[in-house]
Amino acid sequence: MQPEKFYYDNKIVRNFGIATVVWGIIGMTVGLIAAIQLFQPGANMHNQYTTFGRIRPLHTNAVIFAFVGNAIFMGVYYSLQRLLKARMFSDMLSQIHFWGWQLIIVSAVITLPLGFTTSHEYAELEWPIDIAITIIWVVFGWNMFGTIFKRRERHLYVAIWFYIATFVTIAVLHIVNSFELPVSPLKSYMVYAGVQDALVQWWYGHNAVAFFLTTPYLGMMYYFLPKMANRPIYSYKLSILHFWALIFIYIWAGPHHLLYTTLPGWAQSLGVAFSIMLIAPSWGGMINGLLTLRGAWDKVRDDVILKFMVVGLTAYGMATFEGPMLSLKQVNGIAHFSDWIIAHVHVGALGWNGFLTFAILYWLIPRIYKTELFSKKMASFHFWIGTLGILFYAIPMYWAGFTQSLMLKEFTPEGMLKYPNFLETTLQILPMHMMRAAGGAMYLLGVIVMGYNLTRTALQGKLVANEAAQAMPLVPAQEVARESSWHRRLERRPIQMLIAALLVILVGTFVELMPTLTISSNIPTIAAVKPYTPLELQGRDLYIREGCSNCHSQTVRPFRSETERYGEYSKAGEFVYDHPFLWGSKRTGPDLAREGQKYGNAWHYNHLMDPRLMSPGSIMPEYDWLISQKLDTTTTRAKIHAMRILGVPYPLGYENIANRDLDKQAKQISDNLYLDKIRVKNNREIIALIAYLQRLGTDIKANK
Amino acid sequence: MKYHRILLMTALLLFAIRPAMAGDDSLIPGDVMNYIGFGAIVSMLLLFVIVMLVLLKTFKILTRVVLKQQGLTAAEIDAEMNPVKPKKEKKPKAAVWEKLLSLKPLTEEQELLIAHDYDGIQELDNPIPAWFMYLFYCTIIFAVGYLLNYHVFKTGQLQYAEYRTEMAQADIEKKAFLSKAANRVDENTVKLLHDPVVIASGQAIFKSTCAPCHGDHAQGNVGPNLTDDYWLHGGKINDLFKTIKYGVLSKGMPTWEKQLSPKQISDVANYIESLHGSNPAGAKAPQGTKEADTDQKLVANK
């Protein structure tokens, strides 16, 4: 048999590489602006499109799906071709994949600041974009499996197992979490409500971390680390064990994001138990990586690329140990909703995803440009400023998290909250927020230096767009000797591998989601809970548009410190009409689940116009545009109709008269404001938002 | 001997100071006494260490002198003083590390290589480290135990039971504290006070808590003017206490029961009473009914 000659497609790798760096810088800059707003609210330039509530989702989407996403495709397209000894299946599909993905990101950059959001964290994009993501993801899978089918390598290497698991699980997660009913071209309601919606969202949210930020990166680590260090992978057996254990266990852990909420107790406990069991499988990847460097540690001293890898793997190890610890309910009671979680995710994101991406870029760009890295000194500077940046970011955030949580839980001997005013605890941690922004700026500076360094590298070399390679054609399967190990046999069968991975992740999915979604006794209903009035519903959509849930939670946990501060703890039955749920995941401001009727309408009006009038020192942005903008009531009809389809008991035909009720309620509020010398037309957005805020948590009055 | 003398002197000095300090009990507070005590103990310990070091040095020198008198040469003395220790066979650090992690030495690596490579990447057939498996088993046992604890044997409290326990415990503590403390005051027992300390405390609370709605000088803003004769919910000290404590939700006055202690509510109510008739600039128009009684009583009190 003659070796076959073929060419690797390096151009697509280069394109994804450029996109990684460009989106990385953009995404992190947006993050920095958001961070500055947390001590200097004026940094939103008094502009609705750049307020924290709207750009925080932009930051997370940009760094996860644009920066990390493009980095994944860069790494996969580079390593897949070489591990399979084949060019990508179709250059056309590669192009569609690349440009389609960039278009999706651009649409996110446009729609999120405009306030088009589903409010589901890390899945904020509205339904037309969700469909586009599905299509492009299928294109990616098609291209990947096409390449696998025309491979010249019988067995699939461990990196490819991770790529396959990533592909199939993200597809399942994205589709299930995007069950939404369109109301208009850029607005939809989630099909599930309240507790059920929360469970679906955090099953998604947690596993987006698992299968977008973890498994593809483990796959890339398995290819690039042995290449960089020129060492064999430490243990093939460990690869098998930790791969299957990781994907099986990870999918169960989602409910640990909902501890002490109204999620049924059994689901919460399953989330905790599986999170703890996740420690070893997660560490399997780190151990296999660090032990691969055995005998190459002298290289780590000199090679900045390996330094990035080592810090990245260590950050991964720390984050995956901390995660299970955070899922223990005693720890979670303190850490949840606080800056501790922000520190936790950034150790993972900046350390593991960021540093691995940088290492791969520094390694790969000179290779596809057939040249040397432009400046090793600059790369070294990047490593040190990046590491310092992570420390400056994480340590103040940990400190801020502990401080604020403990302050919020402190009581005086009289049995009163020591800090009854939430704002007091916020003001205490503002210096930490400043240091965090400084840490973020350092990290960003490093990335910009890398961008320059890589650009100069590319300019001094020449892209080898089609890299020649040769390999023996595949021996027909029937001529290959039967292997004794079952896993060896599975590695030859990509479709069976795909199905096996799918089945493994579906076990946890079904056990946790199905009972909660189908057995009604898991969500006890409350007769007093009524659907929102049309005005409140419109107000709720404004709450979603402005991204209020990025800073305000809407669920009171059963803790003395919370029931004293906010009122009776939340009940599952209170959220049955909440499409989507708005529990939030962070309390930069106080919980709002029982905000209704706590203050007068005038207080809310003044507070939204300028929060510092009513709460001196507050870091909430001003929402004065709500006063000047007219509420769009043409959508009421479609919204009421959609809600009824989803099971909200509005009477038949109510959509036709809904706006009449809306006007009536709006007039009541504006008349009431007039008593306090506030003149505002009743067709303004602020009226709807006040109506919604005054309704929150008022359906049950259990605490009196 | 000199050092012994210092030691003796110090001890004596301390003995001399002791009665003097005891005599000045009233002048030096207890915690300062404690610090002085700690300081003395630490400095004594330091002194002791120094003395021991000096003694050691002295003995070494004395030994040299004695050995020299016995006619030994300098080299012989050195040899005598610093005997050559038999060198211990030290395990290389890496080997210990490798054993702990159950790693095979790198030299045996060739035998472990799997005869296959992917784009030049080879894999070793190392066993999964034993400690890794133990870690995995331990977490599985923990997880099973966790589920049994909360859902089968029900020995652990789930969140609502935990909440009831927490509240019951807090109630006991609160009652115990309030039965001792003198600040048990409610809307029926609250008294009108003119104590400047009370007024000052009330003022501080007012500035941070009430001013956003009622204005810096209680002239009224979102909330009503609190300095005139007109009251929506009564102007007596008991009425004020009640309004602050429970709020008037329909009119936008929040409940402060959970945020201010009874003593604090009493202080701020007294502060508001003290502002009566202060006629601040930019006062809001009167709201509610005129209450002449309160007024007269206040004037009489002044």
**How large is the average pLDDT for residues B186-202?**
85
Determine contact: A82 vs chain B, CB below 8 A: yes
Residue pair B235/B288 in contact (Cβ under 8 Å)? The answer is no
Average pLDDT over residues A92-118: 97
8 A C-beta contact, residue B141 and residue B133? no
Is B290 a member of any domain? yes
Q: Give pLDDT, residue A704.
A: 39
> What pLDDT score does A414 carry?
79
Reported as a pLDDT band with limits 50, 70 and 90, residue B109 is: confident
pLDDT band, residue B235 (cuts 50/70/90):
confident
Q: What is the secondary structure of B63-114 as a DSSP string? A: HHHHHHHTT--HHHHHHHHSPPPPPP-PPPHHHHHHHHTTPPPGGGHHHHEE
Q: Looking at the domain assignment, is residue B101 inside a domain?
A: no
Q: What φ, ψ does residue A343 adopt, rounded to 5°?
A: -60, -45
Q: Which residue has the higher pLDDT, B83 or A369?
A: A369
For the cut 80, the answer to whether the pLDDT of residue A519 exceeds it is no
Q: How many CB atoms lie within 10 A of CB A287?
A: 22
Mean pLDDT value of segment A656-672: 95
Beta-carbon contacts of residue A525 (< 8 Å; ≥ 6 apart)? A573, A576
Whether residues B139 and A276 touch (CB distance < 8 A) is answered with yes
> What CATH number is attached to the domain comprising B259?
1.10.760.10
- Other beta carbons within 10 angstroms of residue A244's beta carbon come to 17
The reply to whether residue B181 touches residue A413, judged by beta carbons under 8 angstroms, is yes
Identity of the amino acid at A360:
I
The DSSP 8-state label assigned to residue A698 in this structure reads: -
CA proximity to A79, closest of A145, A10, A4: A10
Instruction: Report how many helices (DSSP H) and strands (DSSP E) chain B contains, helices first.
Output: 12, 4
- Least confident window among A127-131, A315-319, B67-71, B149-153: B67-71
- pLDDT tens string A58-69: 999 999 999 999
Residues of A in contact with B146 (CB under 8 A): 269, 272-273, 276
Residue type, B200: A
pLDDT, tens digit (0-9, with 9 covering 90-100), for A213-269: 999 999 999 999 999 999 999 999 999 999 999 999 999 999 999 999 999 999 999
Q: If you average pLDDT over residues A317-326, what whole number do you get?
A: 96
Res B269 pLDDT > 70:
yes
The answer to whether A539 and A693 have CB atoms below 8 angstroms apart is: yes
On whether the CB atoms of residues B54 and B3 are closer than 8 A, the answer is: yes
Tokens representing residue A291 in the block: 């032990």
Per DSSP, the three-state class of B128 is coil
**Amino acid making up residue A295:** G
Query: Which pLDDT band, with edges at 50, 70 and 90, does A701 fall under?
Result: low
Q: Is B103 on the interface with A (CB under 8 A)?
A: yes
**pLDDT computed for residue B101 by the predictor:** 72
Q: Do A411 and B170 touch (CB under 8 A)?
A: yes
Task: Report whether pLDDT(B25) > 60.
Answer: no
CA of B60 to nearest chain A CA: how many angstroms apart?
45
Residue B275 has a pLDDT of 87
Residues A82-93 have a mean pLDDT of 96
Domain regions of chain A by residue span? 11-151, 155-300+488-523, 534-695
Phi then psi dihedrals of residue A181, to 5 deg = -100, 115
How high is the pLDDT of residue B300?
A: 40
What is the rounded distance in angstroms from the CA atom of residue A207 to the CA atom of residue A251?
6
- What is the mean predicted confidence (pLDDT) over B8-36? 65
CATH topology assigned to domain A155-300+488-523? Cytochrome C Oxidase; Chain A (1.20.210)
- Which of A11-20, A121-130, A189-198, A510-519 is predicted least confidently? A510-519
Assess whether pLDDT exceeds 90 at residue B263: no
3-class SS string, A91-105: HHHHHHHHHHHHHHH
Q: What is the pLDDT of residues A284-298, one digit of tens each?
A: 999 999 999 988 888
**E runs forming strands in B37-179:** 113-118, 121-124
Interatomic CA distance for residues A80 and A144, integer angstroms: 8
Query: Which range, A147-151, B9-13, B213-217, has the best average confidence (pLDDT)?
Result: A147-151
Rounded to whole angstroms, the Cα distance separating B286 from B279 reads: 12
* Rounded Cα gap, residues A586 and A588, in angstroms: 6
Q: Report chain B's mean pLDDT, rounded to a whole number.
A: 82
**pLDDT for B292:** 63
Residues B182 and A414: their CA atoms lie apart, in Å, by 11
pLDDT category of residue B293 using cuts at 50, 70 and 90: low
Print the domain residue range for B205.
196-301
Angle between helix A279-292 and helix A215-229 axes, rounded to 10 deg: 20
**Which of A184-193, A383-392, B213-222 bottoms out in mean pLDDT, i.e. has the lowest?**
B213-222
> In this model, does residue A82 exceed pLDDT 80?
yes
Q: Cα(A25)–Cα(A23) distance, rounded to whole angstroms?
A: 5
Whether A520 contacts A262, CB under 8 Å: no
Q: What confidence score (pLDDT) does residue B215 get? A: 87
Q: In angstroms, what CA-CA distances link B35 with A489, B38, B104, B182? A: 74, 5, 56, 33
Contact of A277 with B129, CB cutoff 8 Å:
no
pLDDT score of B90:
62
What would the DSSP string read from start to end of A343-364?
HHHHIIIIIIIIHHHHHHHHHH
- Token pair for A541: 């959509």
- Domain A534-695 sits in CATH 2.40.110.10: no
Mark out the alpha helices in B206-236 (DSSP H runs). Answer: 211-214
Q: Does the distance separating the beta carbons of A226 and B132 come in below 8 Å?
A: no
What pLDDT is stored for residue B2 in this prediction? 63
A390 has which bridge partners? none
Q: Comparing C-alpha atoms, which of A636, A669, A643, A655 is closest to residue A530?
A: A643
Q: Rounded to an integer, what distance in angstroms lies between the CA atom of residue B258 and that of residue A214?
A: 45
> Could you tell me which of A121, A160, A207 has the C-alpha nearest to residue A508?
A207
* DSSP states along A450-482: HHHHHHHHHHHS---SEEEEEEPPPPPGGGSPP
What's the pLDDT band for B302 if we cut at 50, 70, 90?
very low
The alpha-carbon gap from A487 to the nearest alpha carbon of chain B, in Å, equals 14
Q: Is B7 left (phi over 0), alpha (psi -120 to 50) or beta?
A: alpha
Looking at the predicted structure, is the pLDDT value of residue A703 above 90? no
Q: What are phi and psi of A585, to 5 degrees?
A: -135, 5
Closest partner residue to A564 (CB to CB) among B101, B151, B258 is B258
Instruction: Report d(CA A271, CA A259) in Å as an integer.
Output: 9
Residue B70 has pLDDT above 70, yes or no: yes
List, for residues A21-51, the tens digit of each pLDDT value.
Answer: 999 999 999 999 999 999 999 999 889 999 9
Is B159 in the A-facing interface, judged by CB distances under 8 Å?
yes
CA atoms within a 13 Å half-sphere pointing along the CA-CB vector of A82: 23
CA A633 vs CA A186, A639, A659: distances in Å? 16, 10, 7
Number of independent structural domains in chain B: 2
Q: Final residue of a domain: which of B81, B97, B118?
A: B81
A569 against A481, higher pLDDT: A569
Cβ atoms of A696 and A592 within 8 Å: the answer is yes
Q: What is the mean pLDDT of chain A?
A: 94
Please give the helix or strand (H or E) that residue A425 lies within, else none: helix A422-460
- So what's the pLDDT on residue B295? 45
Rounded Cα distance between A199 and A194, Å, is 9
User: Taking a C-beta distance cutoff of 8 angstroms, is the pair A265, B149 a contact?
Assistant: no
Nearest-by-Cβ selection for A569 from B163, B222, B262 = B163
Q: Does residue B28 fall inside a structural domain? A: yes
- Is the separation of the CB atoms in B282 and B219 below 8 Å? yes
Contact predicate A556/A593, CB 8 Å: yes
Q: Which residues of B touch A420 (CB under 8 A)?
A: 258-260
Domain end marker among B55, B81, B107: B81
Q: A residues 605-644 near B, CB within 8 Å?
A: 606, 613-616
